[in-house]
Chain A
Amino acid sequence: MDYAAVVAVEIFYAVAVLVLISAGLAVIFGMMRVINLAHGEFLTLGGYAAIVSNKAGVNIYVSMLVMAPLAAALFGFLVERLIIRWLYGRLINTMLATWGLSLAMMGGFTMIFGNTTTGIATPIAGFTYGRYQLSGYNLFVIFMAIAVAVGLYLMLKTTRAGLIARGAMQNTEMTSAFGYNPSRVYLITFVAGSALAGLAGGVMAPLVGLNPASGANYIAKSFITVIAGGASIVSGALTSAGIFGVISQTVTLLSTPAVGEIALLVVAIILLRLLPTGITGKFFKGRI
């Protein structure tokens, strides 16, 4: 019984991580049809921001929840103005340019932080449940993932900005016809997506040893979660994160983490082959 509960938490946690690390990419892909291959490095940037500010004496929660998204958002602003903006509508070129950005950021991290692994301690202590030791921080990650998903949903569904964003998703020309500058909508979207990536990177920072190449661990997972999810931001990311999280965690528990990750990727390829427009392209068309 205890074991079942522990397994359930582990699986929820795996899903939560996927939701968290994919949210920013999902926003950018869902609304702008831009695949940001440097997403992993945006997460890493958030992680470094959290670690650096925490080491400078800032409160850990402020570092993770404020400084990390802020740093990524500022950087996202620059990237949108300097790179993405020139490539809208050219999906492949955007992917290539952001791939280059990803390498450049990786190199930049190496130059600034050195090719070493840094980290900060988890701010929440573990606790025992029955005969098992549970990580309190994992529960915090689950909570954050739920907060991000609910927050995104409410934002898109109930606010004016969300309405404009949904309009832009459906039809760019209409948005401009209604008097909203699409270039502005895109900028805000990209910055918001970057901030979410930074937030995820900050929240994940205490869990992983951060090094300049850490982004590579995130990008594949977040990438396929979003692509497999399809065009609908929230429901797409949630369903595919659900499927992938359950599968990879189950396989991980049965064998090793590496096999779990491979299983996740194999399922992703099969899924993409069967549903080339993503899960939501098939089942939740037109929702958010």
Chain B
Amino acid sequence: MFTRDILWPAVIGLVLMFLLPLVTDAYTLTVLTAYAMLALSLGFIWGFAGILCFGQAAFFGLGAYAFAIASINIGTPWLPFFIAILVPALFAAVFGAVLFYGRLSDVYLAVVTLVMTLILFKFMNSSAGDGYKLGTARLGGYNGIPGFETLTVPWDSSEYLYDTSLYYFAFLLLIVVYICLRLLLRQPFGRALVGIRENELRAELMGYDIRLLKTIAFSIGAAIAGLAGCIYANWAEIVTPALFSLGQSAEIIIWVIVGGAGTLMGPLIGAALLGYTKFLLGQQSLIDNTFILGMILVLAVLLLPNGIFPAVVSIVKRVAAKFSTGRSPRSRAASRRSKLPNKTGHQADGSNRRGSTQSSAQSSAQSSAQGKSHNHRDDDGAAPIDRGQ
């Protein structure tokens, strides 16, 4: 466990941290690291707890704003650093409790989280003027908040974390968070989350309180997103309502989908690759950036529902299996066919199932899925399975 979950990720992470500056500058790398952290936060709650949040950007933005506002009010940056993690985590705990204790199904969860992001976006956009002040910090509306104290070296408050030093700091945080998540997933709590993702009903019948576990997972995800927002705020030295935008939320989902939900490494790679692509694309004006992002999402959902990383892993495994004797990779297709009716079984009769608010929309979608299952590829990107990390 120590070698696999701590030593290797740490070594590889550190090597990468020193190699990456050879590829591009620290300024770009810092924001890519923030993006990777953000992707990790969604990758965790979606891939391992089965919570698809369409508004992860809300926590990113909250973290960034919390840092900026606290920094202006307090004057020193290290307490705000923790506030930036705590505020989104608490917000998510309360918001998540309302949702999960109300047993909203995944579609409604997606809708509600999306709407929540829009509310924050609209509110921040309309917060110009002297009326909108938190302590001494003006929210600034569309223009956002500039001019707050950024992070300094802890033992020397005149030495700012800036450019290269900020990059190393951010990357170290990323390694730490990644290792913590891997360890968490080995704990009974993490395993129970995966159990819930696999089969909520069964987890419940085993005696797990899925409402509580999901709320905690959601809050952890928000804390990580808040940390990403904090790094972003230190990098950009300004926070604006665009952090809460729908486009930002979509981008996070794109990173995770392209990288592969159900793994921790996939989202990191997805964010880094797409973030860098976006940066390169930003230097040309022939094709619109948003257009390409959108097309990537459409194509990823249609063609690569499991993401790039798991696809590569499975190809590597298949090749490896050819060379080694004995076990050939198992066919998943055969067993998946039996998975579908099973899922339908306990959800379709859920129209009257108490507590479970499987909407009628949900159950009829399920039953029509059963009827038309021959039309579908046998994999559902919304219910990813751990395919190694």
Contact = CB atoms under 8 A, between A and B. Distances in A.
B361 interface: yes
B289 A96 contact: no
A277 B105 CA distance: 10
Interface in B86-145: 98-99, 102-108, 110-112, 114-116, 118-119, 122-123, 125-126
10 smallest beta-carbon distances between A and B, as pairs: A107-B291, A100-B297, A89-B369, A103-B294, A104-B294, A258-B126, A107-B288, A107-B290, A92-B382, A276-B357
A239 interface: no
Given A224-B111, A258-B125, A276-B102, A91 B362 contact: yes
Nearest to B254: A100
28 contacts: A86-B375, A86-B376, A87-B302, A89-B369, A89-B373, A90-B369, A92-B380, A92-B381, A93-B380, A93-B381, A95-B107, A96-B297, A97-B302, A100-B254, A100-B293, A100-B297, A104-B291, A104-B294, A106-B291, A107-B287, A108-B288, A223-B114, A231-B360, A262-B126, A265-B119, A266-B119, A272-B104, A272-B112
B290 A93 contact: no
Contacts of B126: 256, 258-259, 262
Given A33-B368, A35-B107, A258-B122, A99 B115 contact: no
Contacts of B291: 103-104, 106-108, 110-111
Nearest to A79: B298
Contacts of B253: 96, 99
Nearest to B253: A96
Given A87-B301, A104-B293, A223-B111, 18 more contacts: A83-B298, A86-B376, A92-B52, A93-B381, A95-B54, A97-B297, A100-B293, A108-B291, A173-B368, A223-B114, A224-B111, A224-B115, A231-B361, A258-B126, A262-B119, A269-B112, A272-B111, A277-B361
Contacts, number: 177
Interface residues of A, number: 52
A33 B365 contact: yes
B296 interface: yes
User: Which interface residue of A99, A106, A220, A272 has the most chain B CB atoms within 10 A?
Assistant: A99
A259 B125 CA distance: 11
A259 to B, nearest CB: 7
B33 interface: no
A110 B376 CA distance: 34
Interface of A: 29, 33, 35, 83, 86-93, 95-97, 99-108, 110-111, 172-173, 182, 216, 219-220, 223-224, 227, 231, 256, 258-259, 261-262, 265-266, 268-269, 272-273, 276-278, 281
Interface string B48-72: 0000101000000000000000000
Contacts of B114: 220, 223
User: Which interface residue of A96, A231, A268 has the most chain B CB atoms within 10 A?
Assistant: A96
A39 to B, nearest CB: 13
Contacts of A101: 294, 298
A44 B11 CA distance: 50
A273 B250 contact: no
B113 to A, nearest CB: 10
